[in-house]
A and B are shown apart, each in its own frame.
Chain A
Amino acid sequence: MYEHLALSDNGFLFDTRSGATYSLSRTGTFLLRELMRGTHPSDLAARLTDAFEVDLPAAARDCEQFLFRVKDLALLDEASDDDDDDPGSPRAAEPFGGVR
């Protein structure tokens, strides 16, 4: 569901469908990478407390804001679009030389 997003290690995000680019903070990069790896949104706050010195209520608030922002940017709104399209159309995008 995130195949259209290319995220570099330094937090540069490229939406291959829209052509939009973003610069993410260190925690934003961490959270998006977790989502891209399949972490459920409800588990994000716990992952954040594991990786950063932050208490769970603050992490939960930050994650909520992050998810709201991601939705606001329409990064995930069309996540299922590809499912009903031509499966024979190769769309592999590796704009950072394979860094995902």
Chain B
Amino acid sequence: MSGRDDSRRADGRPLTVAVTGLNATDNPGPGVPVIRAIRAACPDCRIVGLAYDALDPGNYMDGIADDVWLMPYPSQGAGVLEERLRAIHATTPLDAVIPTLDSELPTYLKLVDRLRDLGIGTFLPTADMLRLRGKDRLDALRTELGVSTPRGVALTDPAAIGKLDEELDFPVMVKGQFYDAAIAYSPMDVHAHFERFRAKWGVPVIVQEFVAGEEYDVVALGDGEGGLVGSVAMRKMQLTDKGKAWGGVTVADRKLDAFVRDTMAKLRWRGPCELEVMKASDGSGLYLIEINPRFPAWVYLSVGAGRNLPWAAVQLALGEHVAPMPPAPAGVMFLRHSFDQICSLADYSALTTLGELHHAAASSPATAEEVAR
């Protein structure tokens, strides 16, 4: 942080940042860790949580959001989102907004210019970048941009499965376009997975050559001009049954660092992302297997590693310059945990009936009698 007071705006009010994704289940949204990271750099910032559900635990956690507003789902469109953001901004002027969920990005991207006109900064990938990172486009990244990815094809018609072995070596990974993946050792396996994923996620279903090796996950922040603001690479140490990280440790591998720098340069990525990278056990190198266009839920590890990427994203959203960060040190470990949060029924009542909650107004665990008064 610079010598000036980062937590105050020119008019004396606190720097106010809105963050989405406050769900905190065993497959948590990145909102709570993003807010913790911002708080770590700017304790006096005002944080506005934008929640999709009154039961999102991040709405009630101590020291997370100062204000919480219920938001319309992205499927309701950019107009509805803009209307809601304008209403919030009229009450609590926002300086920046950090969307953290894949599903809401396309809607926020439509509003970037209007938000800028309102004085609300964002630092997001462009719509073109977002299209580029689609699972069905990974093979194009290899052929068109020279990014190292496993060879793959996007299937829309099961009739093409019979010819897969002309293009790819088995085994292969079969992936739903949004979620799910399974290994297939034969075209018959591919058929079975194709039908399952098509029914669940639609087409295309993506088939990629299987890369045996170790997976590394990298949280990165690109400047949009080919530069890397910072990155932290992590190896998962324990997983949930959904394969999500429930513990991990930072690694320091210069080849991986170079791969990340090179990939971000080729993509000219703007904003945060998570790169999933396989290090092939046959020594053939590193392969990009997926790009998630937002901070991952384990992003607080970047604070532990001394590379506060969410705060850097806020600074960039405010139009400030952020110097590139040196590579992160190895051996910083995190373990996720869950606990039972005691919540005020009055707070829950406020969110469900009014759609907003203001912790600054002070609340304590309330009983049904207090709510009824």
Contacts and interface: CB of A to CB of B under 8 A. Distances in A.
A93 B235 contact: no
Interface in B236-288: 237, 248-255, 257-258, 279
Interface string B95-110: 0000000000000000
Contact of B327 (A14, A18, A20, A90): A90
A16 interface: yes
Interface residues of A, number: 21
Contacts of B214: 18
Contact of A85 (B234, B251, B255): B255
Contacts of A95: 329-332
Contacts of B251: 16-19
A50 to B, nearest CB: 32
B326 interface: yes
B254 A19 contact: no
Contacts of B258: 85-86
Contacts of B327: 89-91
Interface in A1-32: 4, 6, 14, 16-21
A89 B254 contact: yes
B254 A16 contact: no
Interface in B320-343: 326-327, 329-332
Contact of B331 (A6, A82, A85, A90): A6
B358 to A, nearest CB: 42
A81 interface: yes
Interface of B: 214, 216, 234-235, 237, 248-255, 257-258, 279, 326-327, 329-332
Which 8 A-B residue pairs are closest in the complex by CB-CB distance? A95-B331, A19-B235, A16-B330, A93-B330, A85-B254, A19-B251, A17-B253, A91-B252
